[in-house]
Amino acid sequence: MLVIVGYLVVLGSVFGGYALMGGHFGVLFQPLEVLIIGGAAVGAFIAGNDSKTIRATMKQLPKLLGNSKKHDKALYMELLALLYVLLSKGRKEGMMALESDIDDPQNSPIFAPYPVILKDERVLEFMTDYLRLIVSGNTDAHEIGELMEHELETYKHEAEVPAHSLTRVGDALPALGIVAAVLGVVHALASADLPPAEMGQLIAHAMVGTFLGILLAYGFVSPLATLIEHKVVESLKVYQCVKVTLMASLNGYAPQLAVEFGRKILCSTERPSFSELDEHVRDVKSR
């Protein structure tokens, strides 16, 4: 939703200012310029990316129009509470007692009270995979920590692919606008025998290409790339929270202290306070 609001502000500011200075909107209506710039941008995007990148970018774009915040305080409260329950059971009964729960979390009574986590298959897989390694007991904390870090780097690289592809398109749009403008100038010069008024109109039409290329680049495409990058950083916090909590537990900290380690790495806007988390954990204990 904020993307649409931002686009409306861009259009209102640019065209509103143009109207206030007495500009004529008819001159700006150049569908052929849009065809040249837009078609060339799409073609360059297809030529410069493989099918996996194109699918990932197309899949990401509709998600940017929504205003739902996937990673909010409620999600982190659930995540930390679930980790607390798992680690508490492992501490009391031995980590092998978790084997049936992590092998089939969808039917586990421990995971059942946390539907938000169960719906996020990737976070669930990340958590259960490393709990499975911990249960096996064949790797030490340092090795598991390094493995987590490598996986998070791979996830970040993969998640940022759409942002990088859109950034390159945004960087190319001003140049493609110049291409459209040059073609318009060529057309105008080929009609040099026209009266000055008509010649001036053709030159004005040609300059619209440069305007459109720059507007589309910095007003529409580049902000999408920036937004995707922000969402990638936000999504990484979930995995980092799981990582830090599990690593604290592996290093011998009690479950309540381990989840406190996970809480401290969260951003201030989503991080529950110590008392909120403590109260939530106490509620979990009582249940």
- Answer yes or no: is 95 within a domain: yes
Domain count, the chain: 1
The answer to whether the CB of 232 falls within 8 A of the CB of 159 is yes
Predicted confidence band at 149 (pLDDT cuts at 50, 70, 90)?
A: very high
Q: What is the mean pLDDT of the chain?
A: 88
Q: How many CA atoms lie within 13 A of 266 on its CB side?
A: 26
Backbone angles phi, psi at 190, to 5 degrees: -70, -15
- Answer yes or no: is 1 within a domain: no
Q: What is the pLDDT of residue 68?
A: 56
Q: How many CA atoms lie within 13 A of 45 on its CB side?
A: 25
In the predicted structure, residue 287 carries a pLDDT above the cut 70: no
- Answer yes or no: is 186 within a domain: no
In the predicted structure, residue 46 carries a pLDDT above the cut 80: yes
Q: How far apart are CA 199 and CA 196, in angstroms?
A: 5
The answer to whether the CB of 135 falls within 8 A of the CB of 101 is no
- Answer yes or no: is 223 within a domain: no
- Answer yes or no: is 114 within a domain: yes
Q: What is the pLDDT of residue 51?
A: 93
Predicted confidence band at 177 (pLDDT cuts at 50, 70, 90)?
A: very high
- Answer yes or no: is 253 within a domain: yes
Helical spans, DSSP H, in the chain: 2-20, 25-28, 31-47, 51-64, 73-93, 99-103, 115-119, 121-136, 141-159, 161-189, 196-216, 222-250, 255-264, 274-286
The answer to whether the CB of 170 falls within 8 A of the CB of 219 is no
The residues near 136 (Cβ < 8 Å, ≥ 6 apart) are none
- Structure confidence by residue, pLDDT tens digits, 63-76: 887 665 677 888 89
- Answer yes or no: is 9 within a domain: no
Domain span at residue 148 reads: 73-159+236-286
Portion of the chain with pLDDT greater than 70, in percent? 97
Q: What is the pLDDT of residue 66?
A: 67
- Answer yes or no: is 23 within a domain: no
